[in-house]
Amino acid sequence: MTSVILVQHNNIHLTREAIRSFISFHPAGYEFIVVDNDSTDGDPDDLRREFPGLQLIRNNENVGFGVANNQGATVAKGEILFFLNNDTVTTSEMLSAISREFDRDPQVGVIGPKLLDPDGSFQLSSGELPSFWREMLDKFLYNLVDHGSGSARNHAGKTFGRERAVGWVTGAALFIRRDLYHKLGGFDEKMFMYFEDKDLCCRAALAGYTVKYLPGVSLLHIKAGSSGDDQKFTREAYRRSQLYYYATHRPWIERAMLKAYLKLSGKSPS
């Protein structure tokens, strides 16, 4: 069985559509766990009434992405955990292909599907683990893809159109063996949001497991419902998590380079 864990902080309407679309392609073989981070735009209990069997965990404050997912994982019964953003739309059956891949290779610990923009175009959702120069290169590529460069989108689509081992897959749609997740201690709760997926994948690799990108499985990612409306808070949370990741996983010279870059560009968190 697969335990689908979905964290929400407002945008309950997106959560409802994410659940509906998933259920429409999966009549059985899963359980749904929703962790609500103090939503104020509706009644989270409506989800439990609409979807019988759904488990709902309610927090009295926004405890962050990693903490909330860890809460969901503590009650999960599935052999596979599927961390799914509430701003996603399932467009096909996924679980059988994911289960086969885990069964086929016991060294595969984490799997990420292909994500698409709402118009069906390619969305970057995996890559090499962060380093200072890797992030500079990725930033350049992301800008080309996100700002509509047709050649960049085509190149990225071809590059990421093949199944392969990668450094990380996005936490917007991340499958992991439950035993591995608990062995690793789950998401690092020092990261409020951002970089917790890369950190988890890095630790999985250090434990001897493969992180795999599986483009034969895909879903839509709206990128509108998981990070909240406070853009200043979101930017600062991103930078704090980035700095923490570098302090945990990267050499001192890269930490110094990142801090210098953020200071010069005015992007250091307050």
Q: Specify the higher pLDDT residue, 146 or 82.
A: 82
Distance CA 41, CA 216 (A): 36
Residue 154: give its domain's CATH number.
Answer: 3.90.550.10
Reported confidence tier of residue 147, pLDDT bands at 50, 70, 90:
low
For the stretch 44-98, pLDDT in tens is 999 999 999 999 999 999 999 999 999 999 999 999 999 999 999 999 999 999 9
Q: What global pTM score does this model have? A: 0.93
- Helix (H) / strand (E) element for 58: namely strand 55-59
pLDDT at residue 221, as a whole number: 96
In the predicted model, is pLDDT for residue 141 greater than 80? Answer: no
| 245 part of a folded domain | no
Q: What is the pLDDT of residue 63?
A: 96
- What CA–CA distance (Å, rounded) separates 237 from 269? 8
Residue 170 · residue 112 · CB < 8 Å? yes
- Whether 251 is covered by a domain: the verdict is no
Q: If DSSP codes are grouped into helix, strand and coil, which group holds residue 225?
A: coil
In a domain, 163, yes or no: yes
Assigned domain for 236 exists: no
Taking residues 251-266, report their average pLDDT.
91
Please indicate, yes or no, if residue 255 is contained in any of the structural domains: no
State which residues form the domain around 139.
Answer: 2-226
> Which pLDDT value is given to residue 215?
94
HEC readout, 88-111: EEECCCCHHHHHHHHHHCCCEEEE
Res. 106 pLDDT band, cuts 50 70 90: very high
Burial class (CB in 10 A: 0-12, 13-18, 19+), 33: buried
Please check whether residue 262 lies inside any domain of the structure: no
**Domain count within the chain:** 1
Backbone angles phi, psi at 106, to 5 degrees: -65, -15
Residue 225, pLDDT score: 58
Asked whether residue 234 is domain-assigned, the answer is no
Asked, for residue 258, whether it belongs to a domain, the answer is no
